[in-house]
């Protein structure tokens, strides 16, 4: 096939879609509204027409056996990270090939954020019915229609899957191949009958639930985040192995739906979060009847006829005292929520000279693998991806990679600037450094605590069990924020902006929040910190650069040039 010069170094030709990247971007703009560029957008009736127009622009050319495709970017995996990267690059006019062997949407739709948060929302409605007496209403014990609940979760996932469908990707300029992909060498990928030599490759193959090495676990029927939403019936009892975010979210949700729930965690609940706020979450779950066993090690797991329905499980715990028998925990069902492992089987990454560790592909701060032609994002990225498995972090990684590939931005990924939320009740949200991290890294750290009890909206709703913590540097810069309480996930957005921009707390003074809202709590914290600083004789206006809010090196350069010009004029 006749090609043309690539827009990336080291690539000889393009397989389809003649014209410059700018012309292709304009053609994509003509396909519809900008919503077609992001997986969070919706579908409309223009997609079929748009896809047909793009096919016509390509003269009907498709990958044939023996053909070598040479796109700007080849993405492997159509989960949240892969789809985001493909659409981001295509919207910039790059030629993109997306390879997927399985379902589109990944764990985000099948067992991650969307189904689990739908279950949490349904369980919250059930709990509201039980708590009605506090508002002068007649309480009631809800009747759970588990089949109807499952149908609602499936409908939500199906609706959101439309935004990630192959037809939509094609309408936005992405060439989709349904095949197993594997590398032949550092610059060549094979996907079905197609051979791909892209300018850059992005591995976004996601992860799967990881199973701890416990005797009998693999042989015993158990549930994971990928399979729990396939249960036909609501179990009477559930044992949750793991005290991380997803394990606690599902434990509380099933408890609110009427299950007897036991959580077993060998170390600490929410180990990466602030200890004081993790304790708030633990207290909330215990108050609702979740049985939490911290410091318990499971010695063995086996199936048994210990339940009226379900498969039945027996877990033997290590004895707390030497010489005594260990406790046996039984339940209808066992949910294993001990983390995720990368999905990299069949890719032949060794042929591509890509270094892999048990946590995933080794990447640097720009998400580049040891073979600089290859990037890794999402759950399959290892320690360089900094260990958190969040959809919004994966989307941010995709933006950084596409900017690096197309514009050589050299931007680094810093997960400390990405917020994280555990959707329990109370919620726990955080961004930046927690107190222990900050004190270990620097001196002069100050911590401001503000309880929800001082907030009028929290009192109106009867939810006084919450705490906001701000971690401040000696100069007043906000290093981190952590919130435990109702609505914490919504409140953390403001502090994400503050932390990511390196702002000082004084820069927020004078801002007003509507009353009565939970957002007032953040500004109450600002006022409290300002009053405390004045009492210590540290008050006053923020520094000159802070007041000017210089957001870039260009602005700083402009400012310095003006100062020099003024100095020459005065001289």
Report pLDDT digits (tens) over 42-97. Answer: 333 333 333 333 333 333 345 555 679 999 999 999 999 999 999 999 999 999 99
- Give pLDDT, residue 224: 95
Average of per-residue pLDDT across 529-535: 75
User: pLDDT tens digits, residue range 500-516?
Assistant: 999 999 899 888 899 99
Average of per-residue pLDDT across 470-479: 94
User: pLDDT tens digits, residue range 162-172?
Assistant: 888 999 999 99
Cβ atoms of residues 185 and 352 within 8 Å: yes
Q: Which residues pair with 521 in a beta bridge?
A: none
Asked if the peptide bond before residue 426 counts as cis, ω within 30 degrees of 0, the response is: yes
Q: Is the pLDDT of residue 150 over 70?
A: yes
Lowest mean pLDDT among 25-34, 272-281, 549-558: 25-34
Cβ atoms of residues 334 and 223 within 8 Å: yes
Q: How confident is the model at residue 570 (pLDDT cuts 50, 70, 90)?
A: low
- Give pLDDT, residue 66: 66
Q: Which of 126, 152, 121 is nearest to 140 (CA)?
A: 126
Q: Is the pLDDT of residue 456 over 50?
A: yes
Helices (H), 356-390: none
- Give pLDDT, residue 2: 40
Please identify which residue in the block is written with the tokens 């014209």.
19
- Give pLDDT, residue 307: 44
User: pLDDT tens digits, residue range 183-228?
Assistant: 999 999 999 999 999 999 999 999 999 999 999 999 999 999 999 9
Average of per-residue pLDDT across 254-259: 98
Cβ atoms of residues 398 and 377 within 8 Å: yes
Domains of the chain: 21-104+165-208+342-415 (3.50.50.60), 108-157 (no CATH), 228-338 (3.50.50.60), 426-548 (3.30.390.30)
Lowest mean pLDDT among 326-335, 399-408, 437-446, 535-544: 535-544
Q: How far is CA 51 from CA 32, 54, 174, 324, in A?
A: 11, 5, 10, 69
- Give pLDDT, residue 564: 76
Structure tokens at 21: 């990247």
SS3 for 452?
helix
Whether pTM exceeds 0.85: no
Average of per-residue pLDDT across 228-242: 95
Cα–Cα distance for residue pair 145/255, rounded to 1 Å? 15
Average of per-residue pLDDT across 422-446: 96
Cα–Cα distance for residue pair 412/366, rounded to 1 Å? 5
Cβ atoms of residues 53 and 31 within 8 Å: yes
- Give pLDDT, residue 14: 40
- Give pLDDT, residue 65: 59
Higher pLDDT, 12 or 316: 316
């Amino acid at each position: 096939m006749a090609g043309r010069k690539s827009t990336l170094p080291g690539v000889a030709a393009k397989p389809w879609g003649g014209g410059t990247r700018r012309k292709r971007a304009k053609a994509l703009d003509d396909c519809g509204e900008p919503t077609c560029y992001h997986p969070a957008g919706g579908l409309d009736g223009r997609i079929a027409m748009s896809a047909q127009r793009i096919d016509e622009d390509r003269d009907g050319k498709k990958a044939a056996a023996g053909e070598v495709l040479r796109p700007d970017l080849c993405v492997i995996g159509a989960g949240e990270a892969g789809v985001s990267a493909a659409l981001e690059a295509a919207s910039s006019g790059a030629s993109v090939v997306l390879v997927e062997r399985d379902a589109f949407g990944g764990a985000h739709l099948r067992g991650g954020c969307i189904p689990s948060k739908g279950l949490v929302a349904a369980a919250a409605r059930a709990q509201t019915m039980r708590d009605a007496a506090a508002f002068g209403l007649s309480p009631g014990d809800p009747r759970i229609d588990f089949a109807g609940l499952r149908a609602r979760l499936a409908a939500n996932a199906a609706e959101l899957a439309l935004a990630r469908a192959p037809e939509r990707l094609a309408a936005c300029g992405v060439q989709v191949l349904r095949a197993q992909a594997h590398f032949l060498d550092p610059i060549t990928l094979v996907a079905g009958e197609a051979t791909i030599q892209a300018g850059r490759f992005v591995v976004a193959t996601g992860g799967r639930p990881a199973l701890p090495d416990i005797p009998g676990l693999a042989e015993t029927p158990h549930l994971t985040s990928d399979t729990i939403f396939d249960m036909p019936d609501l179990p009477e009892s559930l044992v949750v192995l793991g005290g991380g975010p997803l394990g606690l979210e599902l434990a509380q949700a099933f408890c609110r739906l009427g299950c007897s729930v036991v959580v077993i965690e060998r170390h600490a609940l929410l180990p990466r979060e602030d200890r004081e706020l993790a304790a708030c979450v633990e207290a909330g779950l215990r108050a609702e009847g979740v049985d939490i066993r911290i410091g318990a090690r499971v010695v063995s797991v086996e199936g048994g006829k210990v339940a009226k329905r379900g498969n039945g499980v027996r877990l033997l715990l290590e004895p707390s005292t030497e010489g005594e028998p260990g406790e046996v925990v039984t339940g209808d069902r066992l949910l294993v929520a001990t983390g995720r492992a990368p999905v990299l089987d069949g890719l032949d990454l060794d042929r591509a000279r890509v270094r892999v560790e048990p946590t995933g592909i080794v990447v640097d701060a720009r998400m580049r693998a040891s073979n600089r032609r290859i990037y890794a994002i999402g759950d399959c990225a290892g320690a360089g991806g900094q260990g958190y498995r969040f959809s919004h972090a994966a989307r941010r990684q995709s933006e950084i990679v596409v900017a690096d590939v197309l514009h050589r931005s050299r931007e680094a990924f810093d997960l400390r600037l990405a917020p994280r939320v555990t959707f329990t009740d109370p919620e726990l949200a955080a961004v930046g450094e927690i107190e222990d991290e900050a004190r270990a890294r620097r001196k002069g750290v100050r911590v401001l605590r503000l309880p929800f009890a001082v907030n009028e909206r929290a009192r109106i709703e009867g939810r006084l069990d919450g705490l906001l913590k701000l971690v401040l540097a000696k100069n007043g810069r906000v290093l981190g924020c952590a919130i435990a309480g109702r609505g914490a996930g919504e409140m953390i957005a403001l502090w994400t902006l503050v932390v990511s921009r390196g702002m000082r707390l004084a820069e927020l003074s004078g801002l007003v929040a509507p009353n009565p809202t939970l957002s007032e709590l953040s500004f109450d914290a600002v006022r409290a910190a300002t009053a405390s600083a004045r009492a210590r004789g540290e008050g006053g206006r923020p520094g000159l650069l802070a007041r000017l809010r210089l957001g870039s090196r260009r602005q700083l350069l402009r400012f310095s040039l003006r100062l020099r010009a003024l100095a020459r004029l005065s001289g």
